[in-house]
Amino acid sequence: MAVISKKWLEHFLVVTPPKVRFSSPRSKVRFPGSRRKVHCSSASSKLMEFPYASAPIKKLMLELLSTVDDKLGSSLHPTSTLPSHLQHFANSTDTAHASLHLRSGLPSSQIDLILGGWIHCKLPSGGALNITTLSAYLTSSTDAPHFLLELIQNSPTSLVLILDLMPRKDLILHPKYLKNYYEDTHLDTHRQRLQALPEVRPYYSPSLYIRAVISPTAILVTIDTGASQSKSIEQIIEGDISPIAKDLLHFWLESCACSAREVDASERAYLAERDRVIKNKTIEVDLGSSLPRLFGQEIADGVLDALKECYNK
């Protein structure tokens, strides 16, 4: 989850800090109870069925997770790295629920971690805010980009899409990197295709940090079909967003995650430190500001501490 800054969240929520909820009837997990790990298949885990997402978003996310599991499953730990009591959590009033599923790569793999998740929050004005996300980080054994997808839907007719291969090198100092991953691959045609739709306009994250870490071909758009007479939001998700997301994930799997690149020792140290800063800054800018407002400080601290431990191994 990469764009839910405090300022952004305040556009939709006017809330007081919620009471801590230690258990959820839906998940039957406790906080801070047993730390027993549970087996979680990316495609079939009860925690990752995206129960609040719209039908086309749910279908897309399950297809993407299944693809990741088919391609990278043998390179990942079979169970979620997060403790079971942090894989699903809710606030005391049932107005906010979330699920996180993190699988770390095996030591022999160049996959660092795969993180999938969702947040559902009822809005004070009615309706709900639903966020679904999939991100994938590589280790410092390769300098290939990371993968990021986030869908933020706050009404039945509008959503924000963030889709990118996040660069891990300075593209000014490394023009071959720019050419190899972003220019010769024609990734920008995906953004151009979406922004040609009358229902689509650019989205500018309120976080300058987020704007600094994305690539020049990143897709950050707002889609609003409220006044559209040509396409519904479901049609755009199924006919436009899904093919682009699948294509970008396929490229990342084949050309980044499963393609070895020679990286010397000094460069590995640079990549490891850069990745460490990005992951920790993402927690601080994104989840560090939103989780306490949605779930209370105690649950937020437990989730954030667990993520930091996984991110900094």
CATH code for position 77 = 3.40.1500.20
3-class DSSP state of 2: coil
Q: If pLDDT is split at 50, 70 and 90, which confidence band does 287 have?
A: confident
Cα gap 253→65, rounded to integer Å: 12
Q: In 141-156, which positions are buried (b, 16+ CB within 10 angstroms) versus exposed (e)?
A: bbbbbbbbbbbbbbbe
Cα gap 25→47, rounded to integer Å: 13
Decide if 1 is inside a domain: no
DSSP state of 259: S
Q: What is the pLDDT of residue 48?
A: 65
Q: Contact at 8 Å (CB) between 291 and 89?
A: no
pTM for this structure? 0.86
Decide if 73 is inside a domain: yes
Which residue is listed with tokens 């922004």? 195
Tally of domains within the chain: 1
Of all residues in the chain, the percent with pLDDT exceeding 90 is 63
Which residue is listed with tokens 């906010």? 96
Q: What is the pLDDT of residue 208?
A: 85
Decide if 121 is inside a domain: yes
- Would you put residue 223 in left (φ > 0), alpha (ψ -120 to 50) or beta? beta
Q: If pLDDT is split at 50, 70 and 90, which confidence band does 151 have?
A: very high
Q: What is the domain extent for residue 116?
A: 6-311
Half-sphere exposure of 111 (CA within 13 A, CB side): 26
In degrees, to the nearest 5, what angle opens at C-alpha 24 toward C-alphas 50 and 104?
Answer: 55
Of all residues in the chain, the percent with pLDDT exceeding 70 is 85
